[in-house]
């Protein structure tokens, strides 16, 4: 398992950039070999021009241009070509380095948005994301629903069986939540055992379907993975955004409905049907 990150890295975009950089380094070494060879030939050409009698035994050839001049012209073209190739390689290398830095910055930014345990967005990302989605929903006159989710009996799990078991439960529940929503929806770990789900382009009926799906999936998971004698369930509160309300107001409304559902479940009654204020 310790080798997994390295194996995954080999197929990522950053790994491809690293591979390209290695290729450039290899080409750079080959280019220096050519440069040294060209310099040696150029030095011989210079000597042939300066002291032709010592290097050219047959000074008369059937051509109007002396061979030394032709030789020098060829060497000039070779040096210019090598210079242009090296310049192009340096430019390409700078582009790849810039791309690598950009990918590293994006990776660092992405890591800062994600919760390491549950692999969903963390709370630091909530305000920016929610405000953006609310603005988009209001511009398009489309509904958006917030769903606050809280685990029941989670504190007892931590107290009786330790935080490692609690972490396991959280990771399992987050996987269930991700399986119950669409790819265009967002899941944020709001607190210790609280999750906030943002459902763009979703009305009350659609959100109710998601809520029932989550309830059923958690019940099925608990039936097969009961932690001791503690039943795990979820209290869910839905709130549909009303135009003009802020992101903080929406979260507070969803939170209040979640606590109302939790209180109703403790009293043994049915949770009130979530509605929004006109």
Q: What is the mean pLDDT of the chain?
A: 78
Tokens of 207: 């959100």
- Residue where the block lists tokens 């060829």: 74
Residue listed under structure tokens 């549909």: 240
Q: Could you tell me if 144 and 190 lie in one domain?
A: yes
- For residue 273, being part of any structural domain is answered with no
Describe the strand order of the beta sheet including 144-152 as a list of residue ranges: 121-122, 186-189, 194-200, 144-152, 233-240
Torsion angles phi and psi, residue 131, rounded to 5: -60, -40
Among the listed residues 87, 85, 194, the one whose alpha carbon sits nearest the alpha carbon of residue 147: 194
**Annotated active-site residue in 150, 185, 193, 222:** 193
The residue count for the chain: 278
**Within-domain flag for 133:** yes
Q: Are residues 58 and 140 in the same domain?
A: no
Indicate the residue among 88, 113, 138 that finishes a domain. Answer: 113
Total domain count, the chain: 2
Of the three residues 73, 91, 113, the one that is the final residue of a domain is: 113
- Write the pLDDT tens digit of every residue in 114-146: 888 999 998 888 888 899 999 999 999 999 999
> Can you give the residue range of the structural domain that contains 56?
4-113
232 and 136 both lie in a single domain: yes
Specify whether 193 is catalytic. yes
The more confidently predicted of residues 51 and 101 is 101
Split at pLDDT 50, 70, 90, the class of 277 is very low
Tell me: do 45 and 148 sit in the same domain.
Answer: no
Q: Does residue 276 lie within any of the structural domains? A: no
pLDDT exceeds cutoff 60 at 59: no
pLDDT at 47: 59
Residues 94 and 151 reside in one and the same domain: no
- pLDDT over 70, % of the chain: 64
3-class SS string, the chain: CCCHHHHHHCCCHHHHHHHHHHHHHHHHHHHHHHHHHHHHHHHHHHHHHHCHHHHCCCCCCCCCCCHHHHHHHHHHHHHHHHHHHHHHHHHHHHHHHHHHHHHHHHHHHHHHHECCCCCCEEHHHHHHHHHHHHHHHHHHCCCEEEEEEEEECHHHHHHHHCHHHHHHHHHHHHHHHHHHCCCCCEEEECCCCEEEEEEECCCHHHHHHHHHHHHHHHHHHHHHCCECCECCEEEEEEEECCCCCCHHHHHHHHHHHHHHHHHHHHCCCCCCCCCCCC
Same structural domain for residues 140 and 252? yes
Region 74-93 average pLDDT: 73
Cβ partners under 8 Å of residue 20, min gap 6: 96
Return the pLDDT at 3. 43
Is 278 within the bounds of a domain?
no
Q: What is the CATH number of the domain that holds 259?
A: 3.30.70.270
In tens, the pLDDT along 145-158 reads 999 999 999 999 99
Q: Are 117 and 125 in contact (CB under 8 A)?
A: no
- Strand, coil or helix: what is 199? strand
Lowest mean pLDDT among 1-5, 118-122, 267-271: 1-5
pLDDT exceeds cutoff 80 at 106: no
Residue 178 pLDDT greater than 80, yes or no: yes
**Residue 107 maps to a domain:** yes
- Dmax (CA) of the chain: 114
Helix, strand, or coil (residue 235): strand
């Amino acid at each position: 398992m310790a080798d997994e990150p390295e194996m995954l890295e080999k197929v990522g975009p950053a790994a491809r950039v690293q591979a390209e950089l290695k290729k450039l380094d290899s080409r750079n070494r080959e280019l220096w070999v050519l440069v040294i060879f060209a310099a040696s030939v150029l030095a011989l050409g210079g000597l042939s021009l300066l002291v032709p009698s010592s290097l050219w035994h047959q000074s008369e050839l059937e051509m109007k241009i002396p061979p030394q001049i032709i030789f020098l012209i060829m060497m000039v073209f070779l040096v210019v070509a090598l210079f242009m190739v090296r310049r192009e390689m340096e430019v390409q290398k700078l582009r790849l380095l810039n791309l690598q830095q950009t990918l590293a910055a994006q990776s660092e930014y992405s890591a800062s948005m994600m919760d390491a345990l549950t692999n969903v967005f963390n709370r630091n990302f909530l305000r920016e994301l929610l405000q953006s989605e609310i603005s988009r929903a209001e511009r398009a006159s489309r509904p958006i629903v917030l769903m606050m989710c809280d685990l029941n009996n989670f504190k007892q799990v931590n107290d009786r069986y330790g935080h490692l078991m609690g972490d396991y439960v959280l990771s399992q529940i987050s996987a269930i939540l991700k399986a119950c929503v669409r790819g265009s929806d967002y899941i944020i770990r709001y607190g210790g055992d609280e999750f906030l789900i943002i459902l763009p382009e979703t009305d009350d009926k659609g959100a109710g379907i998601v809520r029932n799906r989550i309830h059923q999936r958690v019940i099925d998971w608990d039936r097969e993975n009961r932690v001791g004698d503690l039943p795990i369930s979820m209290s869910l509160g839905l709130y549909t955004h009303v135009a003009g309300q802020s992101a903080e107001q929406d979260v507070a409304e969803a939170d209040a409905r979640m606590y109302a559902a939790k209180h109703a479940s403790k009293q043994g009654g049915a949770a009130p049907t979530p509605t929004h204020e006109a």
